[in-house]
Amino acid sequence: MKRNLIFNLVLFFYIGNISFSQNAILEVNSFRTLYFGYENKLEFGTTDGRPFELIAENAKLELDSAQGDIKRANYYTVSPFGYQNVRVFMVDPSSKKAFDTIVFNVERIPDPEIYWGAARNGERGTLSEPRLFVKYPPEIPLYASWKMVSWECSIPGLSGSPISGTGNDISASLGKIKEAKMSQFNGARTETKISFICTIVGPDGTLRKRAAVFQL
């Protein structure tokens, strides 16, 4: 009789190309996409409680005993070595033979958003906030560490090169932003759009450029 297996992927939002194995049951909150450079959290189990061992191909697989009740379920961290498909084999502890295989495609971790204080890209910024932040918006429930490497600020009406800086402190640009805001249309109250081009780095170690525009 064929055995069914269950696995859950924790904190994924993206549905990739899914190919079901013959015996696998894919839960509603489970997907077949892993992210390179990210500690993907997975929960494995069998429908009948059958004991098993796991072997991963093209990825590092570690038991994460800090998650949940390991007497009922097994939580693992799966870290792909690259962008090749990852195969996880469920092996019978006695016979050492695989009784099922799960194939995952590997994707680049999604781009985050730029925030000016609490304001997300496209929203209204404030001159009282001297910092930019890089993180995922609420609709992307991934928890990854991102760092702001450098930024350039383009201000309407400002001649010369854009103001730039390193890290996430934009204090050097705030005076010019305020000056541009006050000088537009002879001091009339009007909307000003401030643009940032940011260089960021994430858990995969890749430098990326992200643009953001804020209203004032």
The domain spans of the chain are: 5-108, 113-215
Cα 24 from Cα 120, distance rounded (Å):
40
Q: How far is Cα of residue 216 from the mean position of the Cα atoms in its chain?
A: 29
Cα 45 from Cα 52, distance rounded (Å):
8
pLDDT in tens, 148-205: 999 999 988 777 778 999 999 999 889 888 887 776 655 455 678 899 999 999 999 9
pLDDT in tens, 123-153: 999 999 999 999 999 999 888 999 999 999 9
Using DSSP's 3-state secondary structure scheme, residue 152 falls into strand
| 1, amino acid identity | M
Residue 121 above 50 pLDDT? yes
Beta strand 5-10 with 24-26 is: parallel
CATH topology of domain 5-108: Immunoglobulin-like (2.60.40)
